[in-house]
Amino acid sequence: MKNFKITFTIALLFSIGIVMGQSRRESCNCVRLVLDHQETYILNAWTLEDTPSQVITYSSPAIKIKFLDGQLDELSSQTFTPSGPIIDGWQKIAGKLDVPENYAIIEFELQSNGFANDVYFDDIRIHPKNSNFKSFTYDPVTFRLMAEMDENNYATFYEYDKEGGLVRVKKETEDGVYTIQETRSKTSIKQ
Which of 120, 102, 122, 103 has the alpha carbon at shortest distance from 111?
A: 120
Give the per-residue pLDDT at 29.
55
Residue 167 CA to residue 112 CA, distance in Å, equals 38
Q: What pLDDT is stored for residue 67 in this prediction?
A: 92
pLDDT at 180: 94
Burial (0-12, 13-18, 19+ Cβ within 10 Å), 150:
middle
Per-residue model confidence (pLDDT) at position 22:
36
Say what the pLDDT of residue 19 is: 31
Positive or negative: CA dihedral 58, 61, 63, 66:
positive
Q: Which residues are CB-neighbours of 95 under 8 A, at least 6 positions away?
A: 42, 43, 78, 80
- Mean pLDDT, residues 83-111: 91
Q: How many whole angstroms separate alpha carbon 42 and alpha carbon 37?
A: 14
Q: Would you give the DSSP letter of residue 99?
A: P
Q: How would you classify the pairing of strands 119-128 and 40-49? A: antiparallel
> What local confidence, expressed as pLDDT, does residue 137 receive?
92
CA distance 65 to 75: 11
- The per-residue pLDDT for range 24-47, each reduced to its tens digit, is 444 555 556 778 888 999 999 999
| The CA-based dihedral angle spanning residues 176, 177, 180, 183, taken in that order and rounded to the nearest 10 degrees | -150
52-94: pLDDT as tens digits = 888 899 988 999 999 998 888 999 999 999 999 999 899 999 9
Burial of 50 (0-12, 13-18, 19+ CB in 10 A): middle
Q: What is the pLDDT of residue 5?
A: 47
What integer is the mean pLDDT of 6-24? 35
pLDDT of 7 over the 90 cut: no
At 27 the pLDDT is: 53
Give the residue from 118, 56, 50, 125 showing the smallest Cα distance to 87.
56
**Count of helices and strands (H, E) across the chain:** 0, 14
pTM over 0.75: no
All domains of the chain in start order, with CATH: 2-128 (2.60.120), 135-182 (no CATH)
Q: What is the pLDDT of residues 134-188, one digit of tens each?
A: 889 999 999 999 999 998 889 999 999 988 899 999 999 988 899 999 988 776 6
CB atoms within 10 A of CB 77: 13
